[in-house]
A and B are shown apart, each in its own frame.
Chain A
Amino acid sequence: MELRHDTPGDTRRKLHDRRPRAGRVDRALSPYLYVAPFFLLFAAFGLFPLGYTAWVSLHDWSLLSDERTFVGLANYRELVGDPYFWNALRNTVSILVLGTVPQLLLALLLANLLNRRLRGQTFFRMGMLLPNVASVVAVAVIFSQLFGRDFGLINWLLEQAGLGRIDWQAGTASSHVAIAVMITWKWTGYNALIYLAAMQAVPGDLYESATLDGASPLRQLRSITVPMIRPTIIFTVIISTIYGLQVFAEPQLFAAGGPEAITGGSSRQFQTLTLYLYEHGFHRGFQFGYAAATAWVMFGIIVVAAAGNYLLVRRIRSTS
């Protein structure tokens, strides 16, 4: 006896035939109606602000005065000529590298550990997500206290260990490390869970044959796991890059108030691009035109950096 199942095409044709004309219009239109709210919202809150920001960036536009003169690219020229902008860019890239590379490597190792059979799996998995659930402000406030110069726990430990105290806020490298630690703390678990989900889709027999061939666990991680979860790694790298280039709350709160919260320390040693934007947009004369130009330059930098990282990570050898 031969059983014949309808292919999806057959089913569609049958339905089609049964439907009246109105139904056809409905069928043609309704998918667009269903997705319309999203795109309308995206246009209102995504595209429009983007375009409007570009328009503002071409003006001498202060929140405090009603006069808005068109100045062409003058804001961009001034920005490129400002050494504090380049300083902010350097700081941002440094914090990005310090905060993202160890973070993702650590996440990969953690995920690899959790991918084995463990007692209390759920506990560990949920535990890893906890730092991510905490609000970024709470994380930044607590870490700023840990890194405090006079009464911070970390300096106390350093002193107990016979090493000197470090004025974390004052130095360029030390402040970048402290901020990178905050970012790592918040995002490692999150990325580890994403890696873990991807790892569980890797077929177990690959590992079995690798074990039979005598491959060490580290070798298995490098040669099987990483190539198999490549798309996921690309995803996390891009997302982390975007987040890292926009980091704001951590350096802002790390400075513990006063004018240094805007300039990122008295020497601008940890002023990031978003802090630079904030300084001009919301602190110094409310220069929205200049801040908008900064925002667009940042947008460009982020696109370039994300694309660059994508190309870089794509070179991970594929298993296929």
Chain B
Amino acid sequence: MRATWTRRVLAAGIAAGLLGAAAACDSGDGSGDGDDAGDITLTVGLFGDFGFGPLYEEYMDMHPEITIEERIAEFADHHTNLTQRLATNTGAADIEAVEVGFISQFTAVPDRFHNLLELGAASLSDRWLDWKWQQALAQDGSALIGLGTDVGGMGICYRTDLFEAAGLPTERDQVSALWPGWDDYVDTGRDYLAASDDGTFFFESSGQMFRAMVEQAPVGVYDTDNNIIADSNPEVLRAWDTTVEAIDAGMSNQLTAFTPEWTAAFGQGTFATIICPAWMTAYIETNAPEASGLWDVAAVPGGAGNMGGSHLVLPAQGDHPEEAYAFIEWLTAPEQQLKVFQETGNFPSTPELYENPEMTGLRKAYFNDAPIGEIFTESALQIEPQYQGPLQGDVLATIGQGLARIEDGAQTPDEAWAQVLSDLESLS
């Protein structure tokens, strides 16, 4: 009895293992192969919606032989998956989006990508903001791995109804005047909390506030030799202290950006301000469609800075580099970037548009008719580029977790910072 029984357990276990293996084999998907001569499918891997939909249609109408397929993943998964697919040399899309926090990680391995300088980009460097171009360049300058889509000049988006209830000004210039610096922003937060009793918070995520402050500094969490300098850069320490001060005062809604709770909070209107790079306006609009007219955009404290923005890269494993290149060159051209801006709010990285009245004159009804073209152009023109290290995204996430531990009450600020430093050490 026991013998058969053991065998049965073994058989069941092995059968389960086999099923697992079969399922695992099933999940790999190729990228645009199996097409007939002349008929080409280009796959595009993005995180979130870039607002490219209508442009795909337009391009396919101009080039009937090309079919474009889009795959959208979660922000957190996207770059991990991409690294994995590059490493195993299979499964990547023909065209992949890379956020600026991750671009250095990929410029460090330029041979995993098609060199766009050889595909025709060499003469186009004037099209983009210089720093945007530089970001996608391999360290020795011999290869360019990506073309820039948007940049994230910052503003602060705020809820006029919540500001009014707290007795704060609601008109955007007056609101901008409340916070020339981050200390003033925190002071305004104190006023807000003191005056409002509806259980709302001043901002949604401490990690985002910290990131905004760091991005404004001339040097961030990395020096140009790729050393992590979070523990020695006074700007980083100041950003940490200011953010901790805001957490202690109870200003943070304790959300992590891009999680479902974060998304849901927009609809519930539980926070009054949010760090607003241009691309954030699209998130706000989709996450809280019924709050139209309640949001407005003011200037960001502490001066200009870039937060986020992306490049489109062509993994070397893609079979159609010429076609893919032709497509992204078209897609990132000023005319198309303007359309994306009008559609979503993702701000163009091509300076020739910054004087185009169609662009600077753009207002958004959702944001109380705010002149977002003007606000974000001004912000983008002032951006001083900051060097981004290879694990930029992971470093910021690690620090964000430290802030979350303080919010959870799991650690004191000193303990949290000590753990951040030891985690950063094991990161590299």
Residues in chain A within 8 A of chain B (CB atoms): 38, 41-42, 45-46, 63-64, 144-145, 148-151, 167, 170-171, 231, 235, 238-239, 242, 256-261, 263, 266-267, 269, 282-284, 286
Verify B410–A267 contact, CB threshold 8 A: yes
Kindly list 10 other residue pairs between chains A and B, CB separation below 8 angstroms, not including A257-B74, A266-B404. A45-B17, A63-B84, A170-B408, A170-B409, A242-B13, A256-B259, A257-B260, A266-B410, A267-B411, A283-B80
Q: Is the CB of A46 within 8 A of B84?
A: no
Between A and B, 20 residue pairs with Cβ closer than 8 Å are A42-B14, A46-B14, A64-B109, A145-B260, A148-B261, A148-B264, A150-B261, A150-B264, A151-B261, A231-B5, A238-B9, A256-B260, A257-B75, A257-B258, A258-B256, A259-B256, A259-B394, A260-B401, A261-B76, A267-B411
Are the C-beta atoms of B264 and A259 separated by less than 8 Å?
no
Determine the distance from Cα of A35 to Cα of B146 in the docked complex, in whole angstroms.
54
Q: How far is the CA of A46 from the CA of B18 in the complex (A)?
A: 8
Instruction: List, in ascending order, chain B residues with CB within 8 A of A261's CB.
Output: 76
Measured between beta carbons, the chain A residues less than 8 angstroms from B257 are: 258
Chain B residues with CB under 8 Å of A266's CB are 401-402, 404-405, 408, 410
Q: How far is the CA of A260 from the CA of B84 in the complex (A)?
A: 19
Q: What residues of chain A lie closer than 8 Å to B18, measured between beta carbons? A: 41, 45
Bitwise interface map of B from 75 to 99 toward A, beta carbon under 8 Å scored 1, else 0: 1100010011001100000000000
Which listed residue, A46, A150, A238, A258, touches B265 by the CB 8 Å rule? A150
Closest B residue to A171 by beta carbon equals B408
Q: Which residues of chain A are near B260, meaning CB under 8 Å?
A: 144-145, 148, 256-257
B residues in contact with A148, CB < 8 Å? 260-261, 264
B153 interfacial by beta-carbon distance below 8 Å: no
| Contact between chains at A267 and B2 (CB < 8 Å) | no
Interface pair B2/A231, CB less than 8 Å apart: yes
Given contacts A42-B14, A150-B268, A151-B268, contact A258 B9 (CB under 8 A): no
Bound Cα distance from A45 to B21, whole angstroms: 7
In Å, the complex CA distance between A263 and B408 comes to: 15
Known: A150-B265, A256-B261. A235 touches B408 (CB 8 A): no
CB distance from B236 to the nearest CB of A (A): 18
A230 to B13, CA, bound (A): 20
* Distance in angstroms between the alpha carbons of A46 and B264 in the assembled complex: 44
Kindly state the separation between the CA atoms of A258 and B404 in the bound complex, as whole angstroms: 12
The CA-CA distance from A45 to B17 in the complex, in Å, is 8
Interface residues on B, range: 35 or more
Residue in A235, A258, A260, A282 whose Cβ sees the most chain B Cβ within 10 Å: A258
Instruction: Please indicate which of the listed interface residues B87, B109, B261 has the most CB atoms of chain A within 10 Å of its own CB.
Output: B261
A267 touches B408 (CB 8 A): yes
Instruction: Check if B270 is an interface residue, CB within 8 A of chain A.
Output: yes
Residue of A231, A257, A266, A286 with most partner-chain B CB within 10 A: A266
Which chain A residue lies CB-closest to B80?
A283
- Please determine whether A63 and B405 come into contact, CB atoms closer than 8 angstroms: no
Nearest-Cβ distance from residue B394 to partner chain A, whole angstroms: 8
Which chain A residues border B394 with CB–CB below 8 Å? 259, 284
A63 contacts B87, CB within 8 Å? yes
B397 interface contact, C-beta 8 A: yes
B195 part of interface (Cβ distance < 8 Å): no
| Known A170-B410, A282-B84; contact A235-B261, beta-carbon cutoff 8 A | no
Known A-B contacts A150-B270, A170-B408, A170-B410; the reply to A258 vs B397 at CB < 8 A is yes
B401, A257: Cβ atoms closer than 8 Å: no
Question: Given known contacts A266-B401, A267-B405, A286-B83, is B264 in contact with A151 (CB within 8 Å)?
Answer: yes
**Is the pair A259, B398 in contact by a Cβ cutoff of 8 Å?**
yes
B249 sits at the interface (CB 8 A): no
Contact B5 A258 (CB under 8 A): no
Instruction: Establish whether residues A257 and B408, one from each chain, have CB atoms under 8 Å apart when the complex forms.
Output: no
Asked whether, in the complex, the Cβ of A257 is within 8 Å of the Cβ of B76, the reply is yes
Chain B residue nearest to A260 (CB atoms) is B256
**In the assembled complex, B427 has its CB within 8 A of some CB on chain A:** yes
Which residues of chain B have C-beta atoms less than 8 A from A64's C-beta?
Answer: 83, 87, 109
Within 8 A of A (CB), among B115-148: none
On chain B, the residues within 8 Å of A63 by CB distance are 84, 87-88
Within the complex, which residue of B76, B270, B405 is in contact with A259, where a contact is CB–CB below 8 Å?
A: B76
**With the chains together, A256 CA to B75 CA distance in Å?**
12
Whether A284 contacts B401 by the Cβ 8 Å rule is no
